[in-house]
Structure 1
Amino acid sequence: MSEPQKSDPGLYDFQAYRGRPKIEWPEGKTCAVWVAPNLEFYEIDPPANPHRKSWAKPHPDVVGYGHRDHANRVGHWRMAEVMSKHGFPGSVSLSVALCDHIPEVVEDASQRGWEFFSHGIYNTRYSYGMDEAQERAIIEDSIRTVEAATGQRIRGWLAPALTHTPRTLDLIAEYGLDYTCDLYHDDQPTRVKVKSGKLTAIPYSLEVNDHYGFFIYNMSPREYADTLIRQYERLAEEGARSGTVMCIPLHSYLIGQPHRIGPFEEVLKHIAADGRAWIARAGEIVDAFNAQTGEDGR
């Protein structure tokens, strides 16, 4: 006999895309565009989680670790320079351990005026199987460590390696965080139902995430760039009715490779020159949405 299907957790109300109250972005822009560099730290030989392997190969995975270590040695700098050149600030999905292991990367992002939110401590340690005390400790560590390193108090959360517990969203809202990137259900911000505090889901993306583009869909650099432009063009067009959000999630060990950065730079040029994009940080988008809906989520 099969187990009964679990009910919908009721995290948000259903609202059809057509007929919603109009969202307006500053200066009449139709699409809020935010870039989410994942600045991550991977352990070469992490402790095993019984629910998921950290590496496809047995530990220590020198190949996997070295590929990702390119991000902090080379890829970040290449990616960050083209973003700054074309006026795109980052909203950083941060493996908080990076503050201790490679503070130079965090300092560079901070100096560029980028915003930080937590992506857990390590991207090789998962939320699966955590009890409440462990999860609280990670949230508290994230708040404390990022504030010490950058002066910023984090407002947002993207679960480490996209792993969660049933209590994650309630806990981050309890600690005063006001946006989550962990729901992929909409092209506009939405309210999330939590036990205390207020939480907004800002659109993040799997579909135009460079990890999916290169690892899952096996795109060439030019195919990925074309996908980003088509995503933007459609959202900017629809945003004339009610403002939309486009997130470009990046991993610099992927997009920061020499053969990929050129086509990506052309995407940034295209969006910056178009005139319909509000190029913003995640927190700015959340604030604009909250102001229009009559609820200050902070």
Structure 2
Amino acid sequence: MQEGAADPGLYPFRPYRNRPKIEWPNGKTVAVWVSPNLEFYELDPPANPHRKSWTKPHPDVVGYGHRDYANRAGHWRMADGMSKYGFPGSVSLSVALCNHIPEVVEDANARGWEFFSHGIYNTRYSYGMNEAQERAIIEDSIRTVRDATGQTIKGWLAPALTHTPRTLDLIAEYGLSYTCDLYHDDQPGDVNVASGRLISMPYSLEVNDHYGFFVYNMSPREYADTLIRQYERLAAEGAESGTVMCIPLHAYLIGQPHRIGPFTEVLRHIAADGRAWITRSGDIADHYLRTTPKEVAA
């Protein structure tokens, strides 16, 4: 049997059972955060040799228009449903949206939503970047969000989920406290970085609406049922040690008229249940960092 590749050592290994207990405020068993991806896709972006932005030859008017539905119509429908049931957003933000369509960012900020960086554009990727280029994106993200909203970002989700080997070390160096780019757990945990302290924030691909509708071909009601089953299991397990449920959304998908109804019923169900700490990702990170000692690799 051939020896496998070395463990990259991104984080300490912890079996799910018998971990130190996580306690959420007011005895809640599961921290629930909703992550709207407020994004900007360029019609004809610069080519990246490692990945195409669009499957069709540029410019892809169909792909662009489908995603632009989010900012023109879907966001407002999605956001109103979230506000109705008391769910603040933790925004995975293409920070160029602050300049291109500031009305969407202003609306989210007025609702008390948090912002973290999802890169500058969702059509520009980290693949092939050198360190100076990656630093420029992080610095641009911090500066642009602060100028537009008054907030200082705490978190990071790589643009289109693309990374370099240095990404985690760099965001920690710049003072960010959490990454959403590790999909390995239902509880926060420390990430091994060269400086500072960085934790992984549970962010789900499995119940991401993109996967639900594009990959698993779910109907709106099937997706809603999946979210409720995810919630019920995590809320029950969280009685032993607090869990995290993330609901990642894209308004051009969940904000469609035929999908929004079942989704808002999920929010109503969670809000009425009583076991959920309905909060923002940065608040989860702050609580965890304040109450949980730093882990180190064995």
Residue deviations 1:73-122 (CA, integer Å, cap 9, x gap):
00000000000010000000000000000000000000000000000000
2: distance between equivalents of 1:6 and 1:153? 38
Instruction: Tell me what 2:238 maps to.
Output: 239
1:52 corresponds in structure 2 to 51
Aligned letter for 1:186? D
1:148 partner letter? D
Give distance in 1, aligned partners of 2:103 and 2:285. 28
Alpha-carbon separation, structure 1, partners of 2:43 and 2:134: 23
State the one-letter code of the partner of 1:30: T
* AA in 2 matched with 1:231: Q
Name the residue aligned to 1:206: 205
Could you give the per-residue CA deviations for residues 197-252 of structure 1, whole angstroms, max 9, x where no partner exists? 11010100000000000000000000000000000000000000000000000000
Distance 1:62 1:4, change over 3 A: farther
Displacement of 1:174 in angstroms is: 0.3
Alignment-derived partner of residue 286 in structure 1: 285
- 1:191 corresponds in structure 2 to 190
1:166 equivalent in alignment to 2:158 = no
Gaps of 5+ in 2: none
Amino acid at match of 2:186: D
SS of the equivalent of 1:110 reads helix
Query: Aligned with 2:32: secondary structure?
Result: strand
Partner residue, 1:152: 151
- After superposition, give the CA deviation of every residue in 1:246-290 in whole Å (9 maximum; x if it has no partner): 000000000000000000000000000000000010011111111
Q: In the aligned structure 1, how far is the partner of 2:152 from the partner of 2:222?
A: 37
Q: Secondary structure at the match of 1:38?
A: strand
Match of 1:72 in 2: 71
Aligned to 1:136: 135
Q: Distance in 1 between matches of 2:193 and 2:59?
A: 39
SS of 1:222's equivalent in the other structure is helix
* TM-score with structure 2 setting the length: 0.97
Q: Which runs of 5+ in 1 are unaligned?
A: none
Report the Cα distance in structure 1 between the residues aligned to 2:126 and 2:24, rounded to whole angstroms.
Answer: 35
Specify the alignment match of 1:13 in structure 2. 12
* Cα drift, residue 6 of structure 1: 4.0
Count of aligned residue pairs for this structure pair:
293
What amino acid maps onto 1:251 in structure 2? H
The structural deviation recorded for 1:168 is 0.1
CA distance in structure 2 between the aligned counterparts of 1:211 and 1:158, rounded to whole angstroms: 15
Q: Which amino acid is the alignment partner of residue 86 of structure 1?
A: Y
| Equivalence map 1:19-38=2 (5 Å) | 19-38=18-37
Letter in 2 for 1:66: G
Cα distance between partner residues in 1 of 2:52 and 2:293? 44
Distance change in 2, residues 1:5/1:129 (3 Å): farther
Percent identity at matched positions?
A: 82
Structure 1 position 9, deviation (Å): 1.3
Displacement of 1:291: 1.8
> 1:176 is aligned with what amino acid?
G
Distance in structure 2 (CA, Å) of the matches to 1:4 and 1:131: 31
2:227 corresponding residue in structure 1: 228
Q: Structure 1 runs of 4+ off > 6 angstroms?
A: none
